Amino acid sequence: MDISILSIFPRMFDALNESVIGKAQEKGLLNLQVIDFRDFTTNKQHHVDDTPYGGGAGMLLQAQPIYDAMSYLETENPGKKRVVLLDPAGKTFDTKMAQSFAKEEQLVFICGHYEGFDERIKDLVTDEVSIGDYILTGGELPTMSMIDATMRFVPGVLGNNFSAEEESFSHGLLEYPQYTRPADFRGKEVPEVLTSGNHEKIRIWRLKESLRKTLIRRPDLLETIDLTKEEEKLLREIRSEM
């Protein structure tokens, strides 16, 4: 997968050279390119922003540097691209979007700063995306979050191919509690079913605890899931226990 990032703070993305994403680059599973669109300004001061027409507080990113950076990117790496604009008013990023991004051959992220963008920049993009109902100083941190979440669904990135499928939100439910050695830590014991060796009982326990956690912490998620008959039965049991 090829991922290109347009930002005026390219060094922030050095963090993506570490851990799982760094290893994905070493394996050739990810080709990451960070472009400083300040390099494409045409004014002597290398400004990428200006005051908004009609007045108002703050500064807006100008269209010209980003348009020219995108033209450069197309020359260097031609082909169909999915272009993501980081925008607080955009669609909220989630697991389904990460899975969709992971199927693309080329992704481009445009990171904003200041008070926003010249509206004409949006003519370049395919997706306007937010990571939540709050404002950050720029799009760099959200971009890193989305790249990390997306790459987990690219085959070969995770050591265990089932990891991304079993974690929270992958099936609409929060992940069940997990434990490792020792079985008894300062009087706090691992649930007996997990040491029983009975895989069917373990499966049912995990599913029930996943449903329990979702019901307690994110009941809104249950409204969007088509539960199986087994899940409906377990959910009734949980509610009767509460």
Average pLDDT, consecutive stretches of 10 residues, N- to C-terminus, the chain (242 residues): 97 97 97 97 92 89 97 96 94 95 98 88 97 92 97 89 52 90 95 96 96 96 93 97 94
Strand partners, 110: 6, 85
Judge if 130 and 185 occupy the same domain: no
CA 162 to CA 50: how far, in whole Å?
48
Tell me the pTM.
0.85
End of a domain among 119, 151, 183? 151
Annotated binding site: 112, 131-136
Q: Which domain range does residue 54 map to?
A: 2-151
pLDDT at 161: 56
198: helix, coil or strand? coil
For residue 157, being part of any structural domain is answered with no
**Is 29 inside a domain boundary?**
yes
CA–centroid distance for 213 within its chain: 22
Are 139 and 204 in a shared domain?
no
Identify whether residues 111 and 208 lie together within a single domain. Answer: no
Neighbour tally for 137: CB within 10 Å: 10
178 in the same domain as 143: no
Q: Give the pLDDT score at 58.
A: 85
pLDDT at residue 113, rounded to an integer: 80
| Three-class SS state of 31 | strand
Are 78 and 105 within one domain? yes
User: What's the total number of domains in the chain?
Assistant: 2
Which letter does DSSP use for residue 138 in this model? Answer: B
Question: What CATH number did the domain enclosing 74 receive?
Answer: 3.40.1280.10
Q: How many CB atoms are closer than 10 A to CB 176?
A: 18
Question: Does 18 share its domain with 137?
Answer: yes
pLDDT score of 165: 53
Statement to judge: residues 58 and 109 lie in one domain: yes
Q: Give yes or no: residues 13 and 91 share one domain.
A: yes
Question: Could you tell me which residues are annotated as the binding site for S-adenosyl-L-methionine?
Answer: 112, 131-136
Domain boundary among 151, 183, 218: 151
